[in-house]
Each structure stands twice: as structure tokens, then as C-alpha cells.
Structure 1
Amino acid sequence: MAEDECFPNMADLRAEIDRIDAELVELLARRAGCIDRAIAIKRRISLPARIDSRVAEVLDRTRRAGAERGLEPAFVEGLWRNIIEWSIAREERALDGSGGRDDGR
């Protein structure tokens, strides 16, 4: 079946886009759950919220993955930078400014 036959009109295509959007939100929520688990681990082993080498690793991996799928690497990097910065801010708030140190705060 040709791609244009899968969604013969805008209503069907929009419904598919809405379904994909819902999946993306679900995946982001799952990722946030992983961030929450990372907070507990980072607190226990005294790691900071921001680990620059990990940020670079994630950005590099996602840029490559996006490029392999025909997405502009700069678009993918920008999107992931937002996700990463949101995640780091979430960790920093939860770590209460302790920088990952378990100092009783």
C-alpha cells in the first residue's frame, strides 16, 4: 500500500498525528520516571545533576539516530537539549541544590 493510501484525507492523517503525539507524551513521562530514579541514585552515590560527558553522549547519539532517519541533526539536538535541560533542572530541584551530595538536606 502506498504511503498516500494509508491516510487518504486530512482527518485520518491528523488522527494519526494525534496518536503519535500521545505516544510521545507517554514516552516523555516514562523518561521523567527514569529521571526520578536517577535522582535517588545520584543522591546516594553523590553525583551532581549535570554530568557534561553524559549530556554530550546523549546529544551525539540522538543527532546520529535522527540523521539516520532523515531528520535534521540540528533539530534533533535542539529538541534533546530542551529535554536534557528540563531533566537536569528536575534533578537539581529534587537534590535541593546539594549538587548530588547527600549532606542531610
Structure 2
Amino acid sequence: MTRLAPADCQSMADLRTQIDALDAEIFARFAERMRYIHRAAELKRGAGIPANVPERVDEVVGNAEAQAAAHGLDPALYGAFWRRLVDAAIAEEERLGV
């Protein structure tokens, strides 16, 4: 599919197609991220590191807030979203025996 810039979209259908394509890419990246979480679980289990490392959680959420701000997005919104994402990753690691 040809990627159109927002300004090049001539209709709502064009915009929706582009947004749907971006959403598919985002979910592919989330799936890739989860593969790293699964590997982290293996490494943590072997090293005796707990699933929840609060300092790292704060660092990851802080990074998300900074990235959001750098892209002109609401840091609070994306920080909250990222905290939920990290909480889900911790739950997955715990499910895998960390």
C-alpha cells in the first residue's frame, strides 16, 4: 500500500485507510515488543531478577512520557498508557514463572 501524508488524503476513506495501516503496524510492533518481554522473562528467571523492578518501571514510563512530549503528544496520556502496558508485561512475566 502506498503511504499518503495526511495532507495528501483527499477523503475520509483515504484517512481511514492510512490510520488502519498505521494501527496494523503498531500492533505488529507491540507483538515484537512482547517477544522481547518473553525473552526478558527467561533471562530474569535465570538470574533471579523479579518481574517487577520498580526503578525500571519508572524509567520506562518516564521514557514514554519524554517521547510523547518530543512528538507533541500528551505526556500524561501516554505515560498512563505505557504504565498499563508495562503492568501487562509484568503480569506476563509472572505468568511465565518469573
Deviation at 1:3, TM superposition (A): 4.5
Deviation at 1:7, TM superposition (A): 0.6
Question: What is the aligned partner in structure 2 of residue 64 from structure 1?
Answer: 66
Match for residue 10 of structure 1 among 5, 8, 12: 12
Distance 2:29 2:80 in 1: 18
Question: What is the aligned partner in structure 1 of residue 30 from structure 2?
Answer: 28
Residue 97 (structure 2) pairs with residue 86 (structure 1): no
Task: Give unmatched runs, 5+ long, in structure 1.
Answer: 101-105
> Normalising by structure 1, what TM-score?
0.86
Instruction: Give percent identity, aligned residues only.
Output: 38
RMSD: 1.2
Q: How many residues align?
A: 94
Question: What is the aligned partner in structure 1 of residue 56 from structure 2?
Answer: 54
Distance 1:51 1:9 in 2: 47
Task: Give unmatched runs, 5+ long, in structure 2.
Answer: none
State the one-letter code of the partner of 1:41. L
Distance 1:38 1:76 in 2: 23
Distance 1:61 1:86 in 2: 17
> Normalising by structure 2, what TM-score?
0.92
Deviation at 1:71, TM superposition (A): 0.4
Distance 1:93 1:21 in 2: 27
Question: What is the aligned partner in structure 1 of residue 44 from structure 2?
Answer: 42
Distance 1:73 1:66 in 2: 5
